[in-house]
Each structure stands twice: as C-alpha cells, then as structure tokens.
Amino acid sequence: MFGHRSDGYLVKDIDPIVALTPYIMPMRCDAQVMSDYKVDFEKLARYIVAKADEGYKVTFMEIVIAAYVRVVSQIPEVNRFVSNKRLYARNELAVSFALLQTSSTGKIAENTTKCNFDPADTIYDVADRIAEVVERCRKEEADNSTMKVAKLLLKPILANSVVGLARLLDRYGIMPRYILDASPFHTSMFITNLASIGLPAVNHHIYNFGTCSQFVSIGSVERTAQAGPQGVAQRKRILPLGLVCDERIAEGAMYAKMLALWNKLLNDPVQLEQPPAKVFYDEGHEYHLPAPQKRMGKVNAGTAVQA
C-alpha cells in the first residue's frame, strides 16, 4: 500500500512520458505491442545436437528462457510491471509456463507452474531449475501451490468473491505472499511451447490480472526459401516466436535494445554457457537465488557425472 509491494520496488527514476502512459492506458490489454520473430532453427538444432553429444540435454524452450534471463541481467528495466497505474521494478526473475501431467488413465491433464531464476544463471543453471520444477509438477499426484489455489475456487460464487478480493488486494499491494507465489500471472514472462502440440506461434494476450509484462509463444518449425550468399535460393527452417509486451514499462528504445540482444543470444547460444561478466539491477535492487540442484549431468559410459 502507498507504493509498497512485496514483489517489487516503486521506480523512482522514471521518464515523465512513461509515467503518464498507465493513466492513458490503464489496462494491459490497452498497451499490448505484438511482434513476430523468426529464429534460425538450424543454428539452435545444431547447438542442441552438439550439447547432446557432450552429454547435456538442452531444449528449445530452455534456450529461449535462458536468453531472456540473460537479457534481464543486462537490461533490468524490461523486468518491470505496472500496478495501480504505478511502475515497479520486480524483485525477482520468474517465468511461468504450462506443462502436461503424466496420467495413469491416459487422460491429458495440464498443470501451470512458475520457475524463479538468478540473473547470473547460465543455460545449464536454467535447465537445472526447470528440470527440478517439471519433475515435481509432472507427477500425477503433484499439486503445486497454483493448483491448490485453483481447486479451492471451483465453485463460481466462491471464485467471483475470492478473485474480486484478490484484484483489490493486488491493486493496493497487500496481496498475501502465498497467493503471489502461487499465481502464474504474477511473473516476469509467461511462455508457451505450442510447437510441442503442433501449433504455429501466436501473439497471445497478456493478462490484466497479475503483473506479467511479456508473453512469448514458440511455434512449430516453418520451412521457407531464402537467398544464399551467391543469390541462389536455399531451403531454410525457422523457429517462429510470437512476442507480446506491455509497452508501458519502458521506452521503445529500451525494447529495441532488449530484442536486439535476445536475437543475438538466440543466434549464438554458446554465449549463455558462461555467466554474464556483470549483472545489472534496476535501481540497484539486487535479488539472488540459491544455486540450482545440479541435474545437467554429463553422461560418460552410462554413468551420470555432475557437471
């Protein structure tokens, strides 16, 4: 309340135009900027195969998330959010995503979870953190905090009352921390891997509820033809990304800087194997996580060796 929140710090050094935009566009659906990006699938596929030959399992989604984590470590302003028309610097780096649960009956069940990262994480750290969360949430009997809260709200009357109260508490920054931790909508970025179910990339809306400022979708691989070095048409495979951002959290030039770095990292993921030389924090508000449990084991003669 009065500018204080448990999930962020009120931004003090702010451009007047940026400060005014939440009053002009009070909801995220007013401020959505949508864009499409084409990533070189061949480069990422070769990198994943090379890592597999070394005994490491890396996925396309993990590369995209690791690149985002690295972007935030260098441009922390893109990890901001707007609440009650005020701009906040998030005090954590979290990514939400949906995953399918294992069912003994063959029924497909979906679970939504959130994973926290340290800005200094490498791609190996990112993969380890995601693997730990996925392993815990994919079990049939798994009930993470998000699902526990959702099951409490199965009755419409209760859901309307609780969600209405949650919106009010969130608006004034007094939402209980348990709810914030359980909510997949209170996150830095929401990502969905539509390629896993054979769908193209989409420009998915960002939610008015919560604090999510970016939504990314990964689509099925597309085949196209592009002119090669000698002007001869060459077949090429690309990985499409749909990106939706809340334009109120930063100037357009900041977003341009973010997308340029993200694209650079996705085209050369080797850079993600080492921690950043320096981590930058929004107005000096540092946050760290414990080291992830090492799961990115290197396989040698059938024996998993800790990396």
Which 3-state string (H, E, C) describes 96-140? EEEEEECCCCCCCEEEEEEEEECCCCCHHHHHHHHHHHHHHHCCC
DSSP notation for 141-191: T---HHHHHHHHT-SHHHHHHHHHHHHHHHHTT---HHHHHH-TTSSSEEE
Class for domain 8-305, per CATH?
alpha beta
DSSP notation for 226-239: EE-TTS-EEEEEEE
pLDDT at 270: 97
In this prediction, residues 163-167 reach a mean pLDDT of 84
Q: Of residues 177 and 274, which shows the higher confidence score?
A: 274
Would the CA dihedral through 10, 15, 18, 23 be positive or negative?
positive
pLDDT of 299 over the 50 cut:
no
- At residue 304 the predicted structure's pLDDT band, cuts being 50, 70 and 90, is very low
pLDDT digits (tens, 9 = 90+) for 127-157: 999 999 888 776 645 455 555 666 666 667 7
pLDDT digits (tens, 9 = 90+) for 246-268: 999 988 899 999 999 999 999 99
- At residue 182 the predicted structure's pLDDT band, cuts being 50, 70 and 90, is confident
**DSSP structural state of residue 274:** S
In this prediction, residues 28-34 reach a mean pLDDT of 93
pLDDT digits (tens, 9 = 90+) for 67-119: 999 999 999 999 999 999 999 999 999 999 988 766 666 666 677 889 999 99
pLDDT at 102: 61
pLDDT at 266: 96
pLDDT at 134: 87
pLDDT of 301 over the 50 cut:
no
pLDDT mean across residues, the chain:
86
Degrees to nearest 5, angle at CA 145 with 29 and 178: 75
pLDDT of 295 over the 70 cut:
no
- At residue 298 the predicted structure's pLDDT band, cuts being 50, 70 and 90, is low
Query: What gap in Å lies between CA 120 and CA 105, rounded to an integer?
Result: 41
Q: What is the pTM of this model?
A: 0.88
Query: What gap in Å lies between CA 107 and CA 219, rounded to an integer?
Result: 24
Q: Which residues contact 82 (CB under 8 A, 6 or more apart)?
A: 22, 28, 88, 211, 213, 246, 248, 249
Q: Which residues contact 164 (CB under 8 A, 6 or more apart)?
A: none
**Structural domain boundaries of the chain?**
8-305
Query: What gap in Å lies between CA 115 and CA 95, rounded to an integer?
Result: 5
Element (H, E) at 267: helix 252-267
Which residues on adjacent β-strands are paired with residue 112?
A: 98
Q: Of residues 8 and 155, which shows the higher confidence score?
A: 8
pLDDT at 300: 36
pLDDT digits (tens, 9 = 90+) for 38-62: 999 999 999 999 999 999 999 999 9
pLDDT of 29 over the 70 cut:
yes
Count of CB atoms within 10 A of residue 225's CB?
A: 9
pLDDT at 147: 59
